[in-house]
Structure 1
Amino acid sequence: MPQLLSTWAPVVTPFDSDLTPDSERFLSHCRWLLDNGVGLAIFGTNSEANSMSVAEKMQLLDCLGEANLPRECMMPGTGSCAIPDAVALTRHAMGVGINNVLMLPPFYYKGVSEEGLYGYFSEIVERVGSDALRIFLYHIPPVSQVPISVSLIERLLKAYPDNIAGIKDSSGDWSNTRAVIDAFAGTGFRVYAGSERFLLPTLRAGGSGCISATANVNPKAISELAARWQQDDADERQAALNDIRDILESVPVIPALKEIIAHHRNDDVWKILRPPLVNLAEKQRQSLMEALKASGFSM
């Protein structure tokens, strides 16, 4: 595989007042992220992706394609509970020229077997039927409650060494991230932490970087640590990132991201969320903004 970026943002999706995706604001935010050194992991958890239809995602992929943004800097989430939906969206991404996709496991049924999960990913690879496809598995058990084990990765890599490219570990458990890095060291399998909180430990352990919600609002500082992680001030940079992350995690993260973008761009349209998500309460909003201001944060 060609070299990929070390830091990615699960790009926040702007909605109009009628709750349709706002492609103009979406493209503007994507360009800003790229300018600040992070890739576009569109249709992630913080993108409200599972509140969007396959057709809406296809339309946004088409917008990115027509805008001629660099395909190697895109990693759309194409996982779905329904295999045909995952296949259709993955094929559409590849039709736009995007080969790297981030794929959730089927998350509705809980307690499913490793055999069932292998069958799901295997079916998608076989149906897409392209040697160019690169799947990054999405391990987020706090949300999906369907974990992706080391043994499942081993089995998938053995069957599809050209298609299974890496993993995003959003378990929040550094010991799990480290175990996956160690298990596949030297194989080319890329391991991304799900938070910049683990960016420096991941890079030092031989991992690839992070795919992090906070990269939507703090991209430059995160990408700079990834670029300078071997320098003497790396621990200081990591501590500064953690401070901002702590502030963001003091309130619900997705509405917080949209509040921050709306504030710094003086554009309240960015505050719009799709139900069932709701905006921050006024007390939460004030607390968030005051803490960020006191920290010296700015987009």
Structure 2
Amino acid sequence: MTSTYRPQGVYSPVLTPFNADLTPAPDRFVRHCRWLLDQGVGLAVFGTNSEANSLTVAEKSGLLDTLLEAGVPPERLMPGTGACALPDTVELTRHAVKAGCSGVLMLPPFYYKGVSDEGLYRAFATVIDQVADSRLRVYLYHIPPMSQVPISLALIDRLLKAYPGIVAGVKDSSGDWSNTAAMLERFQPQGFDVFAGSENFLLANLRGGGVGCITATGNVNPGPIVNLYQRWQEPGADELQKGLDATRAVFAKLPMIPAMKAAIAWKTGRNEWATVRPPLIELNGDQRTQLQQQLDGVGFVLPKADLLA
């Protein structure tokens, strides 16, 4: 049964560890998820930085089952379920709902570009209608820099009217604060929850009535991000935000997924953590040196790194 828990706070698109043969490494995946939960971070498994679109539906379903069998609370899971093929989205979404996950993060079908709001409405509506479960909570995933398929305010408005309570919120990874602010102003009074797509906008989002962030670097810098979420109304919140921005900027200078995996490999001494699935490639030696030096420069630590080894 699905919990009535309403996701809020800091979530991270959990990195997917791979073995040398490029198969997922379930044991390390579970350890990483437990490590994040221990620091107050929710699990947006199968997001962009999870290399989700390099995973099959069967792999994602299997990893989700592995987490549940390991005792990870389903209400702290918000799996990414959006895919180009609607039957894949329906299958994974149905699986997540039956597992008791508190919500799903849903990309639009992203291969075809220049599609209309009507087409996108039909895509989301088809999934909701075919899953046909009142427990479903959809969090729309707006990430036009990657998908090139934006989710407009007009589309959100239409979906909210057609599926009140089921269309529950959004992750705005546009990188455009004015767009996030418009979502907050227009939809937050209707109980529609807005997550910023990066901790860079966490403080502004909370001040605007948003509920938190779903952020890549929650994988490697969870404690300070959660700290700001907990203390955003206290004096000094702006300085905490600046600290988060400085650490994020180091990772952002390099390909984000390989950089985060390289940081974990460095701090745990487990080189297999650096493995990514093609077409991504791991950082080269110069890039790893740059990353380590600059992370040292901002005082980066990975607490209890032995738990990830």
Give the alignment partner of residue 271 of structure 1, picking from 274, 279, 286: 274
Structure 1 segments unaligned to the other structure (5+ residues):
none
| Structure 1 vs Structure 2 CA RMSD | 0.8
Matched residue, 1:216: 219
Native 8 Å contact 2:5 2:102 kept in 1: no
Give the alignment partner of residue 286 of structure 1, picking from 265, 272, 289: 289
Structure 2 segments unaligned to the other structure (5+ residues):
303-309
Q: By how many angstroms is 1:30 displaced?
A: 0.1
Counterparts of 1:140 and 1:5, CA distance in 2: 19
Give the TM-score normalised by the residue count of structure 2.
Answer: 0.95
Give the TM-score normalised by the residue count of structure 1.
Answer: 0.99
Native 8 Å contact 2:200 2:241 kept in 1: yes
* Residues 1:27 and 2:23 are matched in the alignment: no
3-state SS of the aligned residue for 1:20? Answer: coil
Q: By how many angstroms is 1:262 displaced?
A: 0.8
* Residues 1:178 and 2:181 are matched in the alignment: yes
Matched residue, 1:95: 98
Native 8 Å contact 1:78 1:102 kept in 2: yes
Moved over 2 A (4+): 1-5
Counterparts of 1:262 and 1:9, CA distance in 2: 18
Matched residue, 2:197: 194
Native 8 Å contact 2:175 2:197 kept in 1: yes
Measured against aligned partners, the alpha-carbon deviations of 1:216-268 in whole angstroms (never above 9, x if no partner) come to 00001001100110000100100000000111101110000100111111111
Measured against aligned partners, the alpha-carbon deviations of 1:18-62 in whole angstroms (never above 9, x if no partner) come to 111100000000000000111000000000000000000000010
Counterparts of 1:183 and 1:126, CA distance in 2: 25
Matched residue, 2:63: 60
Q: Which amino acid aligns with 2:27?
A: E
Native 8 Å contact 1:5 1:73 kept in 2: no
Native 8 Å contact 2:188 2:194 kept in 1: no
Native 8 Å contact 2:44 2:80 kept in 1: yes
Q: By how many angstroms is 1:185 displaced?
A: 2.6
How many residue pairs get matched? 299
3-state SS of the aligned residue for 2:140? Answer: strand
Native 8 Å contact 1:214 1:245 kept in 2: yes
